[in-house]
Amino acid sequence: MLQALRDEFSRLTAIVSIAYQEQRSGEPEQRVSGAAVEDLRRSLETLAGEEPALARAIRRPVSIERLGRYTLGNLVIPSVAGALGDYARASTWLGEQLGISGAVITATVQPVRLEVEGTAGAPRARSSGRSPRGPSRLRFLGEHVKAPEAAIDAIRHAGSVLLAPGSLYRSVLATAAVPDLACALRSTRARVLWISNLDPGSRETARMSPIDHLRVLRLHRIRVDAVIYDPSASLAFEPAQLNRYGVEPVPRELCSSDDPARHDPERLRLALAELIDSQATSPAVS
């Protein structure tokens, strides 16, 4: 999504989760620091100015004996965070070195662990391919579930706020449900636009209807003013259902011609340009 936005909006702030799930903690940077930094690295790369050497370097794969090949930037980011004291400072410093357009801010100052629970409150079993009954709830585990002040301020003073497409639990909620950020979303004067996925997605959401996705956001007290979706996608909303929840339906042609499960960057850019003042600060909450 940032690729679609970077050339359209001059004051763009991306707020990115570094939370991780224990079941997905096989990467070396997670073993060392407990952080999931892939999305953070990609966001920094995307907003980097004029392909600087550092941007090329951090995406290069490196071979580590007994661990295999990994992206250099995924190891550099935890190292910088260790040197500067936290991931919020690290993302700011790396953004300065990369000459990024806008800002990339972590959703939490330090990494936290995610746990998806069923409605009864028990951790969701992952050995079964079946979805739990009713919506699941995301929990943050750790002592540092605190958002950087810069992320809170960006949402409060934004012209528009975008909830980016991605895994409902591991991406959207991992960012927007951070208590400080959820509170900022509820209080901001900006319009909160949710860019819907185009297909049901991962195991957690495979059997959920489109309106179930919105119900999960509501369960976590995430404010949504409008939903941008593609009526031709496999995950397409019924306008009447959105209206019943007080959410504005914004149907647009978004699917890529090469892969209907992916957003076409140019179509997404044009759709957002219609909805957002290009001079506004527009945090992308991903």
Note down pLDDT in tens along the chain; length 286 residues: 787 787 777 788 999 999 987 655 455 555 555 578 989 999 998 888 666 677 766 776 665 555 566 677 888 898 899 899 999 999 999 999 888 878 999 999 998 999 988 643 444 433 333 444 567 899 998 777 899 999 999 999 999 999 999 999 989 999 999 999 999 999 999 999 999 999 987 777 878 899 999 999 999 999 999 999 999 999 999 999 999 999 999 999 999 999 989 999 999 999 998 888 644 555 555 5
pLDDT at 275: 87
Q: How far apart are CA 27 and CA 283, in angstroms?
A: 28
What pTM, to 2 d.p., does this model score?
0.85
Distance of CA 201 to the CA centre of its chain: 14
Per-domain boundaries in the chain: 2-285
Q: How far apart are CA 56 and CA 51, in angstroms?
A: 7
By C-alpha distance, which of 202, 130, 124 is closest to 169?
Answer: 202
Q: How far apart are CA 46 and CA 265, in angstroms?
A: 13
Please, which residues have CB within 8 angstroms of residue 7's CB and are 6 or more apart in sequence? 269
**Residue 117 contacts residue 132 (beta carbons within 8 Å):** no
pLDDT at 120: 39
pLDDT at 123: 47
pLDDT at 282: 55
By C-alpha distance, which of 229, 195, 20 is closest to 114?
Answer: 20
